[in-house]
Amino acid sequence: MLQDKTILIVGGTARNVGKTELTCRIINKISVMGNVYGLKVSAIFPDEGIYHGDHSEESEDQHLFEETRDNTTKDTSRMLRAGAKRVFYLRCEDNCILHAFTRFRKQLPANTAIVCESNSLAEHVQPGLHIMVKKNAGKIKPRAKARLKLADLIIVSDGSSGFAELDQIYYNPVRRWHIK
């Protein structure tokens, strides 16, 4: 497993639990102190005939897209509006994620703060900080159960009160991501 202390990964136990909102709030907070890059990673599971995320207008042979539009409803556009210097969307088969991430990471400066929304990447990369978002009740995706056990911080979202834990999340080039 690759270690990258410059990346914070936000995962979730289900759809619509607040992953993107938390990701954007972290980007907004960190961007006032320096450059932060956004990343969304979606795994394609060809055996299941599905992939996560809706970027169907892009060709199937591409894996990495840079979001340049801040006026759409896509999660990547929201990250740009939140203050990310640049935002990327990485989509590939689950077994290629580590290789694709390694190529992506080489494009950025060494001490660049990265905020990533993904459950899949956390299975291949040990981040500086791993946050999981869940609701009080409801089903948990099977792949997310293992992520919960390894998370540095679990945030229970009710969808309306915000994220009080945001005040605990910090980044600096020396200590990288940490919780106070």
pLDDT tens string 4-45: 999 999 999 988 899 999 999 999 999 999 999 999 998 887
Secondary structure of 93-124 as H, E, C letters: EHHHHHHHHHHHHCCCCCCCEEEEECCCHHHC
**Three-state secondary-structure class, residue 164:** helix
Note the Cα 27 to chain centre separation in Å: 11
Q: What pLDDT score does 8 carry?
A: 98
Question: Over 50: is that where the pLDDT of 51 sits?
Answer: no
Q: Select the more confidently predicted residue: 157 or 86.
A: 86
Sequence-ordered alpha helix ranges (H) in the chain: 19-31, 75-82, 97-105, 142-150
Q: Predicted confidence band at 136 (pLDDT cuts at 50, 70, 90)?
A: confident
Query: pTM to 2 decimals?
Result: 0.88
Q: How confident is the model at residue 62 (pLDDT cuts 50, 70, 90)?
A: low
3-class state of residue 140 by DSSP: coil
Domains and CATH numbers, the chain: 2-179 (3.40.50)
